[in-house]
Amino acid sequence: MSDTVGVEEKIPRNFITDIIDEDLKEGRVSKVATRFPPEPNGYLHIGHAKSICLNFGLARDYNGTCNLRFDDTNPEKEDMEYINSIQNDVKWLGFKWTNICHSSDYFDRLYGYAIELIQKGLAYVDELTPEQIREYRGTLKEPGKNSPYRDRSVEENLKLFEQMKEGKFKEGEVCLRAKIDMASPFICMRDPVIYRVRFAQHAITKDKWCIYPMYDFTHCISDAIEGITHSICTLEFQDNRRLYDWVLEHISIEARPHQYEMSRLNLEGSITSKRKLNLLVKEGIVDGWDDPRLTTISGLRRRGYTPASIREFCRRIGVTKQDNVVEMSALESCIRDDLNVNAPRAMAVLHPIKLVIDNYGEEGVTDTSYVVNNHPDKAELGTRTISISKELYIDAADFREEANKQYKRLKLGHEVRLRNSYIVRADSCVKDENGNVVQVNCTAIPNSVGTNVEGHKPKGVIHWVDANNCYFGTVNLYENLFTVANPAGAEDFLSTVNPNSKTVIENAALELSLKDAKVGQSFQFEREGYFCVDSKYSVVGKPQFNLTVPLRETKKEF
């Protein structure tokens, strides 16, 4: 596939590139340093791709650096499996990090900075319960109130914090809070918790620590330690920027990274919350994090999306501060455009019925094979040989006993062209006990391959495979995983799962060449859509195929 398309393509100008240009011009920054900071509590999704393309793309375009940083401060939710999958997905998307870092690399230093804040009288150990802390915090309309523990002495705070570290307190019994302003209009500034007690095993530091720093304390310091210049996050963190700056201002660290916020990607009919994705996986509603119906990076990969198509999608949606919802068709058109240019064609009959050529073997109807182009406009994709014999398969949808003029396929007494082959006229059909047509008998027009024949003007072309020389394979069709456009907004999002989102066709009749298809290959099944080889259940000589996208945009019905 077109693995390199777009890797070198510059990010279109946006408000962040404007800021960077200005910073470089004014000499505030000499080398651009960004980071992509996922929490390793799940697999990456399409929303992360937006952040990856921006952060790694800026480093590429400005000749700077981009770190992959695991923001691993919630030990109970994090796992090595996630760390590995994240690295794999970033690489697969076509990006290289400068350094791999972990917030946990800085636990010693973070602890030191917490002590510095205590010594400066800017942090205290609180004994309010988590519920009380919430109560005392106030609301947007009402200021909070001070904790009775807010004015402990520095010595007492140092001693208690030390005891927290030594495991003398239970989870939730105490925490360390920054002493800022309980009346601040920004709730995040009302004495935010910066350290809490957790006795879980950490994926990397194991049980070295039983206190863990909170996101707002960790992130800005990690950015400063790594020399990040532009720290890009999503709009929900706009208020937290005050806390980001406050922490850096009050500890002895020189670097001054800046936080910038962009809108997050919301994709219609899709979930981009790791917590919710995790639920779908754990409940067995989907077939793992890489289920082709999920818009995780691994799901999209298994669905047949190429790295270039995902990068192109991120390029098209751009980077702004306006929250919006992107239609799924915008993502689909990126892979369709890619595969239209790059995928070889093949014939696959998803709902096979027999087509018997009664005059096969007679004068002018003796072909046994054809050499056909794999792609209509790309000679470099080569040719292949397809066989033909007296018995073929065509799709049940391509035959009707009777139909009006709009029906351009095969009907009794009328003609159609078989793709790459003869014009045929349907003469009769055979039905099973339920009245379904299982066989059509036809007459081929002699010498009609690749040419018009006087008196014969077929209105349509249908695809087929040789019934005596084909591969019966499994084809998986997909529809929206959810029945609503905004599943994340539903009260019970699991109840919005579409029970018909996957259809398995066990015995599709596929042209024989598809038997050798390998994982990573995609095809256009002519007149059907784009399909890829499933990476989970295919075995050599017995590939399964997943629908990537239909040939044309279909309006999503929600």
From 39, 61, 181, 245, residue interacting with Mg ion (rule: CB under 5 A): 39
Is 281 a binding residue for ligand ATP by CB under 6 A? The answer is no
**Which entry of ligand ATP, Mg ion, none binds 264, CB below 5 to 8 A by partner kind?**
ligand ATP
Is 51 a binding residue for ligand ATP by CB under 6 A? The answer is yes
Is 238 a binding residue for ligand ATP by CB under 6 A? The answer is no
The catalytic residues are: 39, 264, 274
Is 174 a binding residue for ligand ATP by CB under 6 A? The answer is no
Of 71 and 398, CB closest to ligand ATP: 71
Residue pair 174/160 in contact by the 8 Å Cβ criterion: yes
* C-alpha atoms less than 13 angstroms from C-alpha of 199 in its C-beta half-sphere: 8
Is 265 a binding residue for ligand ATP by CB under 6 A? The answer is yes
Query: Crossing angle for the helix pair 240-250 and 215-226, nearest 10 degrees?
Result: 60
Residues constituting the chain: 558
Could you give phi then psi for residue 329, rounded to 5 degrees?
-65, -25
Bridge partners for 371 per DSSP = 385
Is 213 a binding residue for ligand ATP by CB under 6 A? The answer is no
Residue (of 476, 461, 41) closest to 215 by Cα position: 41
What torsion, rounded to 10 degrees, do the Cα atoms 111, 115, 116, 118 define? 140
Stretch that binds ligand ATP, among 88-96, 134-142, 205-213, 268-276 (CB under 6 A): 268-276
DSSP state of 87: H
Could you tell me which residues come within 8 angstroms of residue 416 by beta carbon, excluding any fewer than 6 positions away?
398, 408, 409, 410, 423, 424, 426, 458, 459, 460, 461, 462
**Which entry of Mg ion, ligand ATP, none binds 47, CB below 5 to 8 A by partner kind?**
ligand ATP
Stretch that binds ligand ATP, among 31-39, 419-427, 507-515, 525-533 (CB under 6 A): 31-39
Residue pair 341/306 in contact by the 8 Å Cβ criterion: no
Stretch that binds Mg ion, among 32-40, 344-352, 402-410, 445-453 (CB under 5 A): 32-40
Give the distance, in angstroms, between the CA of residue 306 and the centroid of all CA atoms in the same chain: 11
Q: How many residues bind ligand ATP (CB under 6 A)?
A: 15
Of 269 and 473, CB closest to ligand ATP: 269
Of 297 and 509, CB closest to ligand ATP: 297
From 11, 34, 37, 169, residue interacting with ligand ATP (rule: CB under 6 A): 37
Of 47 and 304, CB closest to ligand ATP: 47
In angstroms, what is the minimal distance from the CB of 5 to ligand ATP?
Answer: 22
In this structure, the number of other CB atoms found within 10 A of the CB of residue 529 comes to: 21
From 273, 329, 439, 535, residue interacting with ligand ATP (rule: CB under 6 A): 273
Q: First vs last Cα of the chain: how many Å apart?
A: 32
Stretch that binds ligand ATP, among 33-41, 297-305, 460-468, 472-480 (CB under 6 A): 33-41
In angstroms, what is the minimal distance from the CB of 56 to ligand ATP?
Answer: 12
Is 50 a binding residue for ligand ATP by CB under 6 A? The answer is yes
What torsion, rounded to 10 degrees, do the Cα atoms 396, 401, 406, 407 define? 20
The three state secondary structure string of 202-249 is ECCCECCCCEEECHHHHHHHHHHHHCCCEEEEEHHHCCHHHHHHHHHH
Residue pair 137/171 in contact by the 8 Å Cβ criterion: no
Is 219 a binding residue for ligand ATP by CB under 6 A? The answer is no
In angstroms, what is the minimal distance from the CB of 200 to ligand ATP?
Answer: 18
Q: What does the binding site for Mg ion look like in residue numbers (CB under 5 A)? A: 39
Q: What does the binding site for ligand ATP look like in residue numbers (CB under 6 A)? A: 37-39, 47-48, 50-51, 71, 233-234, 264-265, 272-274
